[in-house]
Amino acid sequence: MKKILVIDDEPEILKTITIYLELEEYEVLTAENGQDGLEVFEQQKPTLVITDVKMPGMSGIDVLKKVKEIESDTEVIVITGHGDLEISVDALRLDASDFISKPVDIEHLLLSVKRAMDRHKMRTQLKAYTKDLESLLDKKASEIKDAHAMLLQSEKLAFSD
């Protein structure tokens, strides 16, 4: 089951988002501020973080930065009640998966979550394929090196006769 961490200082929003995500069979973790959210994140390592931008203490943009520093492959969706274009550009520049305005349209949120999960899955698969390819290339390079050494050895034997 995929874990999602939802961080918002408004308990009603936390509850509503949690209910809808659990109906979609996600395991939902919650926090009411950025600092608590980062602690949960470090302990649980969820696939996706959904964070409000405007919160007391640590902003959602700060949460986004910290999450990406800790685990760059984690997807982050940023939510705000303040439709600030500059904040949305900053969030996307920092590799947020999406930026959603309040009031949250649940259908939009669920679609955004699905896209973020798909993006995470593709990124994970790409890393696995890349690792497999690098391993195969290393093996082939070693085989070529061994074949080259054998060829040199056979040439030395041929010329020594």
Beta pairing partners, 79: 52, 100
Residue 42 lies in a domain: yes
In terms of DSSP H, where are the helices of 10-105? 11-23, 34-44, 60-70, 85-93
Helix (H, G, I), strand (E, B) or coil at 53: coil
Residue 48 lies in a domain: yes
Residue 112 lies in a domain: yes
The DSSP symbol for 152 reads: H
Instruction: Report the phi/psi class of residue 103: left, alpha or beta, with left for phi > 0 and alpha for psi in -120 to 50.
Output: beta
How many structural domains compose the chain?
A: 1
Q: Is residue 83 over pLDDT 70?
A: no
Cβ-contact 8, 21 below 8 angstroms: no
Q: Is residue 93 over pLDDT 70?
A: yes
Cβ-contact 22, 64 below 8 angstroms: no
- State the average pLDDT for the chain: 89
| Nearest-angstrom CA–CA distance, 92 and 139 | 39
Residue 14 lies in a domain: yes
Q: What is the pLDDT of residue 80?
A: 84
Q: What is the pLDDT of residue 104?
A: 87
Domain housing 64: 3-125
Cβ-contact 76, 51 below 8 angstroms: yes
| Nearest-angstrom CA–CA distance, 100 and 112 | 9
Residue 18 lies in a domain: yes
Q: Tokens 């919650």 — which residue?
A: 30
Residue 114 lies in a domain: yes
**pLDDT tens, residue by residue, 128-160:** 888 888 888 988 888 888 888 888 888 777 777
- The CATH number that applies at residue 109 is 3.40.50.2300
| Nearest-angstrom CA–CA distance, 120 and 138 | 27
**pLDDT tens, residue by residue, 43-72:** 999 999 999 998 989 999 999 999 999 999
Question: Between the CA atoms of 120, 118, 6 and 35, what dihedral angle is there, to the nearest 10 degrees?
Answer: 10
Residue 99 lies in a domain: yes
Residue 90 lies in a domain: yes
